Amino acid sequence: MDTLAAPLAAVRDRIARLRDALDQHGVDAVLVPSSDPHLSEYLPERWKAREWLSGFTGSVGTLVVTRDHAGLWADSRYWVQAEAQLAGTGIVLMKLSSGAGTQYIDWLATHLHPGQSLAVDGQVVGLAFLRALRTALEPRGIRLRTDLDLPGQIWPDRPARPTPPVYEHRAPQAPLGRDAKLEALRHAMQDRGAQWHVLSTLDDIAYLFNLRGADVSYNPVFVAHALVGLAEVTLFIDPGKVGPHVQQALAADGVTLAPYEEAARALSALPPGATVLIDPRRVTHALREALPAGVQVVEATNPTTLAKSRKTEAEAGFIRETMAEDGAALAEFFAWLEHALARGERLTELDIDTRITEARARREGFVSPSFATIAGFNANGAMPHYRATPQSHAVIEGSGLLLIDSGGQYLGGTTDITRVVPIGAITAEHRRDFTLVLKAMMALSRARFPRGLRSPLLDAIARAPLWAEGLDYGHGTGHGVGYFLNVHEGPQVLSVHAAADAHTAMEPGMITSIEPGLYRPGQWGIRIENLAMNVDAGRTEFGEWLAFETLTLCPIDTRCIDPSLLRADEREWLDAYHATVRERVGPRVSGDAADWLAERTRPLV
């Protein structure tokens, strides 16, 4: 069997065995989400069941298998990738249209019949999502089984839970102590009338306890649950992950450790009449079911979700320093890239990832990349979540556009940046598309908006320059970014497809990516991304106002711009931005990097 046929045969065999498990348990369908017991976006290997079953490696997707159909639902970011990886497996790509992330629920409601049943593992499915399933299926007489982990039953070599140790995120980069964070959380609990609070999302836990880990690629978090009371707090974590010094530090702040598996049992032991705060978007169905019937449940957003999104002044200072360090690393990288191309070196997309990570690793405070680098040349850049692999990547030669989306985890912050550089001779069409995307990015970067505005409403500001030309892009315009935490963080999100719920309100200190794009399938892709922080923009008789402070410090390649498409005020913004980049990054670089920085930050002619 050839090397391509073997993985396809393995996927077909796994789907066949999954159907055998359906028959064994008398179930008619199974839904396998991209999820774990902590509702993480990026998963430890143990919980990558959807990927193991289907062979599709995208970070988001939902697999549904019945006795006669297997479908994988994915949005437009993954269509090209999914079509290639699913070909020959018998799994059909079910294309999610924009803003319809749960179309598979409608499909199940249509294709399952009264009296039939659907299995979905309650250990890894969110409470809010399960309620949506019930609302759609149970009135049609379709039963839900949440007590079965069918993929786990047929996964003979399933990885164990991750074992890397946790460590403390210390001062000065962690300016707010664990005791202060616990005190603030308890005040928030009391405001909601709660005596206990259940935490399962890993970034909330890492933030609250000032701990970091390496259980999830690129995100410095660790697998754990937490139960916080008004007078006590328990962290449920595998004992071998916490060394004696960390144990002592936690004990000094009143934190008791318990085995990871004890979380549900501890919830079930809460006394009758206790009041427990949970976030239905951030806790699984199984943990909710563990609470005894006599417990009163208060549902609200995790207080830590808002707290960690609002960076303090001290944290903002470290973030600005981190951005300058990251900018210096990028200057060194891009200087190397231009010289290597000028020398005629044979470069591939894989070389981009290697070199940009090496440049960051030389900067103070660097820990790891914040996500897998996306380096897409020409047509590959038209796939927003493309990733080069040793088996499939492009050589950077000839002419076109090279899109590079990368980021770093530093002790003083998390970075995420996308730039596009010209390779060889580019066309007027390239420049027009690039300039329109740049206008979109600048439009939102320069916006002033009311404090408390629901973040999805801002997305249209970025899209307006593209909409005016009959153009658009399928992904959101921005996501929240953590502080040496997850590169994707809530509660804010910039997306016309997201619900403008109250918890998405924009508040001072939030850091958000601004990354509009434009994609020509089979030709090229353009995305320009900076991180920006909400800052005070004054008060008028109409209320308080916020604006964006651009944090990212890296030139935008003016060789890709059609200056005739820019207004005078847009030119002024770009020149001022480049002057800031030169001023902040210049003292940190020398030699070729300094020369490159000076050239790429010259005023636009």
Task: Provide the pLDDT for residue 262.
Answer: 97
Q: What percent of the chain has pLDDT over 70?
A: 99
Q: Across the chain, what does the average pLDDT equal? A: 95
Does residue 491 have a cis bond before it (omega within 30 degrees)? yes
Distances from the Cα of 413 to the Cα of 311, 314, 482, 536, angstroms = 10, 12, 7, 21
What domains can you pick out in the chain, each with its CATH number? 5-153 (3.40.350.10), 167-304 (3.40.350.10), 310-600 (3.90.230.10)
pLDDT surpasses 80 at 344: yes
- Eight-state DSSP code of residue 424: S
The pLDDT > 90 percentage for the chain reads: 91
d(CA 478, CA 495): 7
Residues 458-468: pLDDT tens digits?
999 999 999 99
What average pLDDT does this structure show over 388-402?
Answer: 92
Cα–Cα distance for residue pair 396/85, rounded to 1 Å: 24
C-alpha span between 484 and 203 (Å, rounded): 10
Residue 66 predicted with pLDDT over 80:
yes
The yes-or-no verdict on residue 402 having pLDDT over 50 is: yes
* Per-residue pLDDT reduced to its tens digit, 475-490: 999 999 999 999 999 9
Strands 517-520 and 524-527: antiparallel
Residue indicated by tokens 């427990």: 276
Residue 446, C-beta contacts closer than 8 angstroms, at least 6 positions apart: 548, 573
Distance of CA 561 to the CA centre of its chain: 29
**Given this model, what pLDDT does residue 605 score?**
79
- The DSSP bridge pattern shows strands 167-168 and 196-199 to be unpaired
Of 224, 226, 231, the C-alpha closest to 274 is 231
Query: Which tens digit of pLDDT belongs to each residue from 37-48?
Result: 999 988 999 999
Q: What pLDDT shows up at residue 554?
A: 98
Q: What is the pLDDT of residue 389?
A: 85
Is the CB of residue 514 less than 8 Å from the CB of residue 372?
no
Full 3-state SS string of 23-38: HHHCCCEEEECCCCCC
Q: How confident is the model at residue 4 (pLDDT cuts 50, 70, 90)?
A: low
Our CA angle for 489, 494, 496, nearest 5°, is 135
Query: Would you say 72 and 94 are in contact if contact means Cβ atoms under 8 Å apart?
Result: yes
Q: Residue 85 pLDDT > 80, yes or no?
A: yes
pLDDT value at 448 more than 60: yes
Region 498-518 average pLDDT: 95
Q: pLDDT tens, 124-179?
A: 999 999 999 999 999 999 999 999 999 999 999 999 999 999 999 999 999 999 99
Give residue-wise pLDDT tens across range 265-288: 999 999 999 999 999 999 999 999
Confidence of residue 357 (pLDDT cuts 50, 70, 90): very high
Q: In sequence order, what are the beta bridge partners of 95?
A: 74
What pLDDT is stored for residue 238 in this prediction?
95
Lookup: tokens for 558: 């003016």
